[in-house]
Chains A and B, each alone.
Chain A
Amino acid sequence: MLLAFDTATPLVTAALHDGEDVVAERTSTQPMKHGEQLAPLIEALLHDRGLVRQDLTAIAVGVGPGPFTGLRVGLVTARTLALALELPVYGVCTLDVLAIEAVDTGAVHEDFVVATDARRKEVYLASYDADGARLVGPDVLKPADAATAAPVVGEGALLYPEAFPHAVGPARPSAGWLARVVAEERAELLDPEPLYLRRPDAVVNAARKQVLADDPSRGPAR
C-alpha cells in the first residue's frame, strides 16, 4: 500500500494506492496549518480503509516547488515516516503531478504550461509536451515574463488571467494523482529533497530586538 501526500500548496492532500488504483483520498479543511493537519490526515486515511501502519509499503511525497514552511512539513514527515517504517520514499515535482492529471483527464492535447502560486506576485512554472513530459523548468517567474497563450494548468492561471488567459485542468495537485504518478512511474522519481528555487531571506530573527548600538556598519572596536 503506497501512501502519498503533498504539502506544496495551502491545502494538505493525502491518498492511499493499493497497486491497482487509489483506494482512499483526503484533503485538509483549513488552509495552511500543514504541521497540524498532515499526521491526523494520514491516521484517518488508514482508519478509512481499516489498515494499520504496517500495511504501508512505500511513501510518495510532492517535493514542490511551493511555500517553504508547508513543503518542509511534507518532506520531513515523509523522510521520518520512511525511517520509522523502513520504507522507500519517492519524491515527485508537484508541477509534474498537475501535468499528468491534466493529460490523463483529457484537459490538454498539446504542449502546455503548469503554473502555481509562488506568492510575492510570482509563479512556479514548468512547460510540458502533450504527453506530460517536462520540457523546461521548474522556475520561479513573474507572470508577465512568462505570459503565454498556451493552455495553463494550475492555480497560477486563475490568479493571473492577463498573463495566462487559457486556464485548463486542475487548480491544485491531488495526492491521488501523485500516487498514480509514482505507482505507474509516469514522471521522474526524485529524492525527497525540497525544490525551493529561492535562496533564503537573510533576515536575522526579528524577535531579537535591535538597538542603535548594533549598527554593523560602524565596525568593531579595535
Chain B
Amino acid sequence: MSDAPLVLGIETSCDETGVGIVRGHTLLADAVASSVDEHARFGGVVPEVASRAHLEAMVPTIERACETAGVALRDVDAIAVTSGPGLAGALLVGVASAKALALGLGKPLYGVNHLAAHVAVDQLEHGPLPEPCLAMLVSGGHSSLLRVEDVTTGVEPLGATIDDAAGEAFDKVARLLGLPFPGGPHIDRAAASGNSVAIDFPRGLTGRRDMERHRFDFSFSGLKTAVARWVETQQRAGATIDVHDVAASFQEAVCDVLTRKAIDAATSQGIEDILIGGGVAANSRLRAMAEERAAAQGIRVRVPRPGLCTDNGAMVAALGAELVQRGRAPSALDLPADSSQPITTVVA
C-alpha cells in the first residue's frame, strides 16, 4: 500500500474547516475545526461568520493534520478540495487555500464534489465501494438518492429533497422543542426514551399520486409544519408536551420515509448495496431501521462511523486518492468555487 497516493483533502463548504490526509484507502489524519458554537445562537449557519472562521482555522488545521499523519507537506502527492456545492464564501476560502498548496508544492489540484466525497469516504472504513451502489446522503444541507457506478465519474441523481434537507428538519423541530442547535443528536437522545408511535406525523411524498412524480424525492417541510401545529395546538389547550414522544414520533416519520425510499430505489435499480452518508447518518434510529428493512430484502447497508459521516477533510482526501488512482485529470488553477455544483460534476 506504500505506493498508494498520499492525498490531502480540504473541506470548507459549511461551518467545519476539515483537513484530512489519506494514503489510498488508509486514513492517516482527520483534523476538523468547527465554528458551530458561533452559529448556535442564530439557530443556523451564518455564512460570514463561517467564512471568517475558515480563514482563521485553515493553516492551524493543515498543520494539525500533517502532525497527526506524521507526514510533511512536501510528501503529499495531490491536493483535493471541495469546490461545491456549499456556501459560496466558505467554499472560496478552502479552494484558495488548496490552490496555494498546489502552487507552493508543485502538486496537482482536484476540485471535487462534496456529495461524491460523502460517498467516497466509506472506502476508508469498509474498503472499495460496491459498483454500482445506491447512496443516500442526508445532512443539514442535502437529502439525495444517488446511483453510483464509479464515484470518480458516474454519479446519477435519482431523487432529492424538494424543500428542506432532512437535517434541517431535525434542526427546526429541535428548536421548536427547545433543544439546542444542531438538532440531530439532541432529537436522537430525546427520542431514545420516547414513544415513536405516540403521534402519527405525516410521511412526505409517499402517497399514491406523489409516488408517480416524486418516487425517489423527499419533502420534510410538511412534516416540520405538522410538528409545529401539533405543539401549538397542545400549548393552546394548556396540555403538557412530552418532548420525548414528539422527538421519537418525528424521528420515526423521517427515518421511515428515508429508508423506505432508499430500499425502493435500490430494488428498482437492481442494486444490492446501500451506502448512507451525511450528518443524519449518525442517527441511531436511521441506522437500525435501514439495516433491519434492508436485510429483509437481501440488501447490504454500509454506514461509515459517525465521525466520517459529518463534513470532514478525510472524505475529500478519500475521493482525491481515488481520482489519482484511477488516473483522472486534475483541475486547472482557475478552478471556481461553485455553490451549486451539480452532482454529475465529480471533478470541476
Q: Is A40 an interface residue (CB 8 A)?
A: yes
Q: Is A50 an interface residue (CB 8 A)?
A: no
Chain A positions 42-56 with a Cβ under 8 Å from a chain B Cβ = 42-43, 53
**A34, A68, A220: the one within 8 Å of B51 (CB):** A68
Chain A, Cβ-Cβ closest to B231: A221
Q: Are A79 and B59 within 8 A (Cβ)?
A: yes
Q: Are A80 and B43 within 8 A (Cβ)?
A: no
Q: Are B55 and A75 within 8 A (Cβ)?
A: yes
CA distance A194 to B93 in the complex (A): 13
For the complex formed, measure the closest distance between the CB of A199 and the CB atoms of chain B, giving whole angstroms: 9
Chain B positions 49-98 with a Cβ under 8 Å from a chain A Cβ = 49, 51-52, 54-55, 58-59, 62-63, 73, 87, 89, 92-93, 95-97
Q: Are B59 and A72 within 8 A (Cβ)?
A: no
Q: Are B96 and A77 within 8 A (Cβ)?
A: yes
Question: DSSP class of A's interface residues: helix, strand, loop or mixed?
Answer: helix
0/1 interface trace, chain A 182-222, chain B, CB 8 Å (1 if under): 00000000000010100011111101110111101000111
Q: Are A36 and B168 within 8 A (Cβ)?
A: no
Question: DSSP class of B's interface residues: helix, strand, loop or mixed?
Answer: helix
Q: Are B176 and A220 within 8 A (Cβ)?
A: yes
Q: Are A77 and B336 within 8 A (Cβ)?
A: no
Stretch at the interface among B103-111, B122-130, B303-311, B318-326: B103-111
Q: Are B224 and A221 within 8 A (Cβ)?
A: no
Chain B count of residues within 8 A CB distance of the other chain: 61
**B47, B58, B95, B179: the one within 8 Å of A205 (CB):** B47
Q: B49 contacts which chain A residues (CB < 8 A)? A: 200, 202
Q: Are B44 and A39 within 8 A (Cβ)?
A: no
A69-B106 contact in complex given A205-B44, A216-B175, C-beta closer than 8 Å: no
CA distance A53 to B42 in the complex (A): 43
CA distance A214 to B99 in the complex (A): 40
Q: Are B96 and A38 within 8 A (Cβ)?
A: yes
Q: Is A37 an interface residue (CB 8 A)?
A: yes
For the complex formed, measure the closest distance between the CB of B266 and the CB atoms of chain A, giving whole angstroms: 29
Chain A, Cβ-Cβ closest to B340: A207
CA distance A208 to B44 in the complex (A): 9
0/1 interface trace, chain A 57-92, chain B, CB 8 Å (1 if under): 000000000001100110111111101110000000
CA distance A3 to B100 in the complex (A): 13
Q: A212 contacts which chain B residues (CB < 8 A)? A: 225, 228
Chain B positions 260-301 with a Cβ under 8 Å from a chain A Cβ = none
Q: Is B121 an interface residue (CB 8 A)?
A: no
Q: Is A170 an interface residue (CB 8 A)?
A: no
Q: Is B327 an interface residue (CB 8 A)?
A: no
**B48, B87, B164, B333: the one within 8 Å of A40 (CB):** B333
Chain A, Cβ-Cβ closest to B177: A221
Q: Are A77 and B100 within 8 A (Cβ)?
A: yes
Q: B335 contacts which chain A residues (CB < 8 A)? A: 36
**B42, B52, B59, B336: the one within 8 Å of A80 (CB):** B59
Chain A positions 97-131 with a Cβ under 8 Å from a chain B Cβ = none
CA distance A36 to B347 in the complex (A): 16
Residue among B39, B176, B221 with the highest chain A CB neighbour number at 10 A: B176
Q: B48 contacts which chain A residues (CB < 8 A)? A: 68, 200-201, 203
- Please list the residues of chain B having a beta carbon within 8 angstroms of any beta carbon in chain A: 39, 42-49, 51-52, 54-55, 58-59, 62-63, 73, 87, 89, 92-93, 95-97, 99-106, 163-165, 168, 172, 175-179, 221, 224-225, 227-229, 231, 234-235, 240-241, 243, 246, 333-337
Instruction: Identify 26 residue pairs between A and B in the complex whose beta-carbon atoms are under 8 Å apart, listed by A's number.
Output: A33-B336, A34-B96, A35-B96, A36-B334, A39-B103, A72-B52, A72-B54, A72-B55, A76-B54, A76-B93, A79-B58, A79-B97, A83-B63, A84-B105, A85-B104, A196-B52, A204-B42, A204-B45, A205-B44, A205-B47, A205-B87, A209-B163, A212-B228, A213-B228, A221-B235, A221-B241
